[in-house]
Chain A
Amino acid sequence: MTELPINTKKARVFDIQRFSLNDGPGIRTTIFFKGCPLRCEWCHNPESFLSGPQFLYNESLCVNCMECIPVCLPGAHDKIEYQGQEKHVFDHELCNLCGECVKVCCYEALKIIGKEYSTKELLDELKPDLVYYELPNESLERGGITLSGGEPMNQVDFIADFLDLTDGIHICMDTSGYAPPENFLKILPKIDLFLFDYKVTDPEKHIYYCGVDNALILSNLDLLYHSGANIVLRFPIIPGVNDNLEHFEGIAKLMKKYDRIEYGEIMAYHNLGISKIEQFGMMDMGIHQKSVNKEERSKWISIIKSYGIHHIR
């Protein structure tokens, strides 16, 4: 599959989730932008990696009607004999993203992920839910829009233009922190809250697991903090990767250093993204385990609390 050039007038989005409840305060709409410079092994949104469109084949929704086979010129769709019945198979390598098969699949097993939006088109998608954003919850927090991905900072020019249209709406930026510092400064005044990831403490391991160094991430965090940004730190914890004392201590140190941040939040590993990895025909990157249970998550929180950190949830 080929990477398409990024069009700054438009951004490619892989999902818009209305009634989003877990990415910032209140009732929100989360916009998932495509494209990410990191390659975290546990990533649950692998469709965000590439900035171009991607083909999705969801085998569990396929009913083997075979309607896609005759319309596919490159021959990516085919059928095989399996346990005495005809079964549909798909080869991602042969797909040229023409979309002809999507037009005949009535069971939503085939999709092309990644739709381009202009700033205005994006705003139109969000407008109907403005009434829900304004509802104060018990702590009088307002809902709003969360920019997520992928790495939304990858599309900073588009986002800057977009945020010119969203005055009065509460904006969260869900970021890995991996972007040029001047980009953060550019949009800083428009962002009400950063949901800032801190993934792995040890720089070497960070490169190993996420594909990039964490120095830029940490310096951006420092920059945002000292520029007065509101920040929630989010800590993805993946058993066998960073559920170790070294990292928990690193988290504690960070929380102490930046004691003005709103709170820290543990994002326990879950395996829901595995479905997508297969559907996109991606390489399985190795993290393939059971979702973390509540008890385990509580244990991690108590460890961090034992360092004297209390605003962690």
Chain B
Amino acid sequence: MNNFKVKNPREDLQYEINFTNAYREAINKYNRPEEIEVASLKAQFPAALHPIQDEDLFAGRLQMGLVGLGIQGQTGGFGYYMDEEKVTRELEFATGNAKYREDLHDLLTFWKSKNTTTIIFNQRPDELQDIFPSMEWKKEPLPACPIIRMAGAFIDYEKLLNLGLNGLMDLVRNRRKVAIDNNEDVVIYDCMLEEVELVKSVCAFYCSQAIKLMNNTDNPQRKIELKNIADALLKIQMDPPSSMFEALQLSWLYGLLIPLLQHGRVDEYIGDFYVHDIDNGIITEDEALAMLQSFFRLINHMDSETDGRVIIGGYGRRNPKNADRVCLTIIEACRTVLEPLPQTTLRFNSETPKAIWDAAMNCIEEGRTYPLLYNDDILVYAIGKAFDVSKEIAESYMPLGCGEFEFNHFSFGSPNGSANSLKMLELAIRGGYDHVSNKEMGPKVKSLKACTSYDEFYEEYKSIISYYIVAQAKFQKYEYDITGKMHPFLLVSMLYDGCLESGKAIFNGGCAHLTGALELYGNVNSANALAAIKKHIFEEKTLTVDALVTAMDHNFYGYDKIRKLLLDAPKYGNDDDYVDDIYIDLHNYIAEKSREQASAVGLKAYLYVTINNAQNTTLARWVGATPDGRKSGMPMANANNPSPGTDKNGLTAMLNSLAKLSHDNHAGAVQNMRFTKELMASSREKVHRALISYFVRGGAQAMITVLGKEDLYNAIQKPEEYKDLIVRVGGFSARFVDLKKDIQQEIYDRVTY
């Protein structure tokens, strides 16, 4: 859960108590979810907002409560939510009077069963009850678990900025008239209008705050800045924004009230304003940069590390020239705001101006990791095929959060399930028995011992994977359906294709292109484990199943010879076809099996993703020792990357392995690469060439980390995770982790920022 970065966080839960009371009042008074949403949002805003801070050039800081209303989950919770753990802690440790504690108890018992997540999980269809016994994937060994949220709203910022708030209201009013003419229900439009009014009132709230702050400061520069904020907030209550400053202020504040974590194609929706203001001498380049830096810091204050995408570049932008011009300033903001967010994302292609590519490379070389790179020339075609959409739609692809693809304000593709293929392999080996929780799980299959060939075992394993994919797809559709009934999310709906037109909220038939994404973890380790099983059990017969399972049961303690045999078996990431082929086959099976589910459950697409976040670690905690030589509980490989320490053949070999993956049958695969600063400094051009080669040969994506001092320190402490670090000196052969500690220390001391 995130910690909003605000100067003076609230010290008690009075806000949460007030919100609860307002919600209770609303459900007594209203029947329609739209009306309840409006009432709840009014209780939430501006109450949950925080003052403009001294360093802010725009208004809008937020601290979502432990109880509240949100869409994505990462901003506190999904739908009507309660953070039970933190509320309980407050009860146990808080001071406050008797009434306060009574209210807290009341809040806790009220929300226990009435929060959206619990309702959705508890009402899951009967056939899914046993397959998904729990949502506690962090605390229990689970081969698969639903994720309850609606992640990845990419609203139509262009529309918002073109129309302005009043224009948007006019659009809603016009639609309302049509509805009246057609004898349709108008509650949804009335509520939309009320929510836009709420946005305006938040503008007014911050406007008067800015004026007050302006009058209280003696700093002439700050006075001007606060006046700009106040002026802009006044203006955007009435008219569409006419400057870059107003545009950023409106887009930021509107998104904050949802609250949104994806910021869309910023270069596209800001580009025209930027060019207008720069070319007419209204702002200087420095001022534009300062605005974007402040915008970036505000994104960072939301503190949701796997989100906060700012997307730039690529095909399909309305105004590529203007957008490309502001791209450079956005990359400069990325380079200079040294915070984990936003996740600046560059979509590039053969038409990307060299200046943008070079700026991106410079930024990466400084160790920023951003921008994340997405290769349009591979992805537009591949995604078009995977999602079965036109080229035009495919060109609007947006990687959300961890890297799942959607289409800009056209589709919604919330990743609502996670699955652990390594846990499933563990089950397959033991015939459907989980030795960690000591119970049967999933379908009963033939155990590894009962199988007479590798292919037979692989089929058994695949039947477990299939079982969970089919169930996850059903859950995904169910989750959209029930969410549609409970939550209109009107601020999102108004700016999503199809909603106003149809008069329906986004998940209630408004968005015509609902897709689903299944987050798969453990594929690389599974492939490595399968390779070891194939080679040692079935082909070379150097290991019996009993010996393998006994060694695994003992977490290899006392079975090091077996573990070493397993560790030495082929590993993904070394350009070794033996295991790479197994990996690709597994990938394709999961991809196709997922894809088949779309029509079965009634979604436009259902695709799997292999992405970066912490689940490779948290899910792995409940997987015992595995036949890839991994010990019990140790992390699994992240996304489409070699398992830590198993890629030993250098960058080119790893790139060759990565490039074998097809991209036309999934919804996102993330590749991490890392280089030392010294290597980048001394061989920039060669590294660059290798990357280009990777992209030209089908590489779709890259997240490049240039390791600085801190990373080298970690490498000294945890050599097992840094076996790929190469020390480059002419005529010399060694890896960083092979050097003596004091020599490593010397290199560490030499690396400076």
Does A associate with B in a complex?
yes
- Which residues does A use to contact B, with CB under 8 Å? 14-15, 17-19, 21-23, 26-27, 30, 32, 44-45, 58, 60-61, 65, 67, 71, 102-108, 128-129, 131-132, 135, 137-138, 148, 174, 195, 234, 265, 267, 270-276, 278-279, 290-291
Q: By the criterion CB–CB under 8 Å, are A21 and B683 in contact?
A: yes
Q: Which residue of B lies closest to A279 (CB)?
A: B738
Partner of A103, one of B565, B679, B690: B565
| Residues on the B chain within 8 Å of A265, using CB | 730
Interface flag for B740 (CB, 8 Å): yes
Which residues from A are CB-within-8-Å of B723? 108
* Chain B proximity of A308: nearest CB distance (Å): 25
Task: Give the shortest distance, in Å, between A96 (CB) and chain B (any CB).
Answer: 19
Contact A148 to B731, CB < 8 A, known contacts A19-B651, A138-B685, A274-B743 = yes
Q: Which of B296-304, B414-422, B481-489, B555-563 contacts A (4 or more CB under 8 A)?
A: B555-563
Q: How far is the CA of A60 from the CA of B722 in the complex (A)?
A: 14
Selected contact of A27 from candidates B629, B652, B729, CB within 8 Å: B652
Q: Tell me the bound Cα distance from A276 to B727 in angstroms.
A: 14
Question: What CA separation (Å) do A167 and B359 show in the bound complex?
Answer: 39
Chain B residue contacts of A138, Cβ below 8 A: 685
Identify 27 residue pairs between A and B in the complex whose beta-carbon atoms are under 8 Å apart, listed by A's number. A14-B733, A15-B733, A18-B649, A19-B650, A19-B651, A19-B653, A19-B726, A21-B683, A22-B683, A22-B730, A27-B689, A27-B690, A30-B731, A45-B733, A67-B561, A106-B556, A106-B564, A106-B567, A106-B629, A128-B575, A137-B689, A234-B731, A272-B743, A275-B738, A275-B743, A278-B740, A291-B750
What 6 pairs across the A-B complex have the smallest Cβ distances? A18-B650, A22-B730, A15-B733, A275-B740, A67-B560, A19-B650
Q: Are A27 and B743 in contact (CB under 8 A)?
A: no
Contacts of B311 in A (CB 8 A): none
Residue of B nearest to A24 (CB): B730
In the complex, per-residue mask of B679-697: 1 if CB is within 8 Å of any chain A CB, else 0:
1001101110110110001
- B interface secondary structure, majority: helix
Are B730 and A18 within 8 A (Cβ)?
no
**List of B residues within 8 angstroms of A65 by Cβ:** 560
Query: A129-B652, A135-B692 in contact; A21/B564 too (CB < 8 A)?
Result: no
Complex interface: chain A residues within 8 A of B561 (CB):
67, 71, 103-104
Whether the Cβ atoms of B732 and A44 lie closer than 8 Å is yes
Residue of B nearest to A291 (CB): B746
Question: Could you say which residues of chain A place their CB within 8 Å of the CB of B720?
Answer: 107
Residue contact A45 to B732, C-beta cutoff 8 Å:
yes
Complex: A142 Cα to B683 Cα, angstroms: 15
Q: Which positions 704-721 of chain B face chain A at CB distance < 8 Å? A: 719-720
Among candidates A58, A137, A195, residue contacting B738 with C-beta atoms closer than 8 Å: A58
Is B444 part of the binding interface, using a Cβ–Cβ cutoff of 8 Å?
no
In the complex, whether B728 has a CB less than 8 A from a CB of chain A is yes
Given A137-B685, A272-B727, A275-B740, are A104 and B564 neighbors across the interface (CB < 8 Å)? yes
Smallest beta-carbon distance A18→chain B, Å: 4
Question: Complex Cα distance A273/B738, Å?
Answer: 10
Chain B positions 153 through 174: 1 when the CB is less than 8 Å from some CB of chain A, otherwise 0: 0000000000000000000000
Report if B734 contacts A (CB, 8 A): yes
A105 CB contacts on chain B under 8 angstroms: 560, 564
Shortest Cβ distance from A77 into chain B, in angstroms?
Answer: 13
How far does the alpha carbon of A195 sit from the alpha carbon of B650 in the complex, in Å?
23
Report which B residues bind A (CB closer than 8 A).
Answer: 556, 560-561, 563-565, 567, 575, 629, 649-653, 656, 679, 682-683, 685-687, 689-690, 692-693, 697, 719-720, 723, 726-734, 737-741, 743, 746, 750
Q: How far is the CA of A30 from the CA of B629 in the complex (A)?
A: 30
Task: Point out the residues of chain B lying under 8 angstroms from A17, CB to CB.
Answer: 650, 726, 733
Q: Report the Cα distance A274→B686, complex, angstroms.
A: 28
- Which residues from A are CB-within-8-Å of B649? 18
CA of A234 to CA of B729, assembled, Å: 13
What's the Cα separation between A103 and B656 when bound, in Å? 29
Once bound together, how far apart are the Cα atoms of A60 and B741, in whole Å? 7
CA A30 to CA B731, docked complex, whole Å: 8
Question: Do A45 and B653 touch across chains, with their CB atoms under 8 A apart?
Answer: no
Cβ 8 A contact of A271, one of B679, B692, B743: B743
Considering residues B565, B629, B652, B687, which has the most beta carbons from chain A within 10 angstroms of its beta carbon? B652
Residues of A within 8 A of B650 (CB): 17-19
Chain A residues with CB below 8 A from B737, complex form: 61
CB of A272 within 8 A of CB of B564, answer no
CB distance from A256 to the nearest CB of B (A): 24
A272-B729, A272-B732, A291-B746 known; A18 vs B653 contact (CB < 8 Å) = yes
Closest-by-CB residue of A relative to B736 is: A272
Asked if A135 and B729 sit within 8 Å, CB to CB, the answer is no
> What residues on B are CB-neighbors of A291 within 8 Å?
746, 750
Q: Is the CB of B728 within 8 A of A18?
A: no
Within the complex, the shortest CB–CB distance from A213 to chain B, in Å, comes to 22
Look across to chain A and name the residue whose beta carbon is closest to the beta carbon of B562. A104
Assess the A21–B727 pair: CB atoms within 8 A. Answer: no
On chain A, the residues within 8 Å of B692 by CB distance are: 135
Contact of A273 among B575, B732, B741 (CB under 8 A): B732
Chain A residues with CB under 8 Å of B563's CB are 106
Residue of B nearest to A28 (CB): B686
Known: A272-B732, A272-B739. A21 touches B686 (CB 8 A): yes
Bound complex: CA A102 to CA B629 (Å): 15
Q: Which of chain B's residues has its CB closest to A197's CB?
A: B731
Residue of B nearest to A139 (CB): B685
Q: Which of A71, A135, A273 contacts B689 (CB 8 A)?
A: A135
Query: B644 to nearest A CB, angstroms?
Result: 13
Q: Which residue of A lies closest to B577 (CB)?
A: A128
Residues B729 and A137 in contact, CB atoms below 8 Å apart: no
Residues of B within 8 A of A18 (CB): 649-653
Known: A45-B732, A104-B560. A19 touches B740 (CB 8 A): no
Among B685, B737, B738, find the residue whose CB has the most chain A CB atoms closer than 10 A. Answer: B738
What residues of chain B lie closer than 8 Å to A21, measured between beta carbons?
679, 682-683, 686-687, 728
Q: Which residue of A lies closest to B716 (CB)?
A: A60
Give complex CA distance A61, B741 in Å: 10
How far apart are the CA atoms of A220 and B705 in the complex, in Å?
45
Q: A58 CA to B744 CA in the complex, in Å?
A: 14
- Closest chain B residue to A27, Cβ basis: B686
Closest residue of chain B to A59, judged by CB?
A: B740
CB B589 to nearest CB in A, in angstroms, measures 25
Complex Cα distance, B685 from A105, in Å, reads: 39
What residues of B have a CB within 8 angstroms of the CB of A15 in the complex?
733
Contact among B629, B686, B729, B731 with A174 in the assembled complex (CB-CB below 8 Å): B731
How far is the CB of A105 from the nearest CB of chain B, in Å? 7
